[in-house]
Amino acid sequence: MLKILTADDHAVVRAGVRQILSESKDMRGVVEAETGAEAVRQAALGHFDVILLDVSLPDKNGLEVLKMLRQQNPDQAVLMLSMHPEEQYAIRALKAGARGYLTKESAPAELVSAVRKVSKGGRYISLAMAEKLAFYLDQDQQLMPHQLLSDREYQVMLMIAGGKTVSEIADELGLSVKTISTNRVRAMQKMAMRHNAEFTYYAVKEGLVS
């Protein structure tokens, strides 16, 4: 019987996940966490076969939480379950130690299958993502500009590319405008860019945003 922890700041999503998993006889309970800090605390208190983790949490970036969970327990199975397309975060999540990446648009049966697979030590990614990952691994070691960014810088870059202002990003992530501005400047310096429009052009060209 599998014990699951789901970390997501949306109560409706957590309820939906709990309902889907509770219909499977081999899932014995789903514990919920609304923030990254709560997820780390819950994971420290008890063993979970799988932790379902969103990328966007109100207090911390999901990738930061993933690293904290892995430091706490290197063998912890974490499956990223996010609204963000695979192209945006899947490779980063897998490199950070996630066992798989699934979008919230996936069918309920796919979620159950993914949970079972990663609980047994396997990895779960879509066929399309497997092809992208193979292409990524076949490339030489020269990193693309966006791969030079920290997780937070990358998140800010994507949100700016998606049309959000610094103030809007600060509100959404619960961070100060100064922090977001600093990450924006660092991202621009690392990517040798000067304007927000360059973020947008690059992200669209590389398929990071639609």
**pLDDT per residue over 58-72, tens digit each?**
888 888 899 999 999
How far is it, in rounded angstroms, from Cα 42 to Cα 156? 28
- Quote the mean pLDDT of the chain: 88
How far is it, in rounded angstroms, from Cα 200 to Cα 164? 11
Of 100, 28, 92, the closest CA to residue 63 belongs to 92
- Which pLDDT value is given to residue 49? 95
- Which pLDDT value is given to residue 139? 57
**Could you tell me how many residues make up the chain?**
210
In DSSP terms, which residues pair with 78 in a beta bridge?
51
- Which pLDDT value is given to residue 207? 79
Q: Which CATH number fits domain 2-138: 3.30.590.10, 1.10.10.10, 2.30.42.10, 3.40.50.2300?
A: 3.40.50.2300
Mean pLDDT, to the nearest integer, of 126-135?
70
> How far from 174 is each of 46, 60, 80, 136, CA to CA, in Å?
28, 9, 21, 33
CB atoms within 10 A of CB 127: 7
Residue 3, φ and ψ in degrees, nearest 5: -105, 125
210 vs 13, more confident: 13
Give the three-class secondary structure for 53: strand
Where are the chain's structural domains?
A: 2-138, 145-205
**pLDDT per residue over 153-207, tens digit each?**
999 999 999 899 999 999 988 889 999 999 999 999 999 898 999 999 998 888 7
DSSP character for 168? H
- Which pLDDT value is given to residue 70? 92
- Which pLDDT value is given to residue 21? 92
Amino acid identity of 95?
Answer: K
Assign 208 a pLDDT band (cuts: 50, 70, 90).
Answer: confident
- Which pLDDT value is given to residue 76? 94
CATH code: domain 145-205 is 1.10.10.10
**pLDDT per residue over 87-121, tens digit each?**
778 888 888 899 999 988 888 888 999 999 999 99
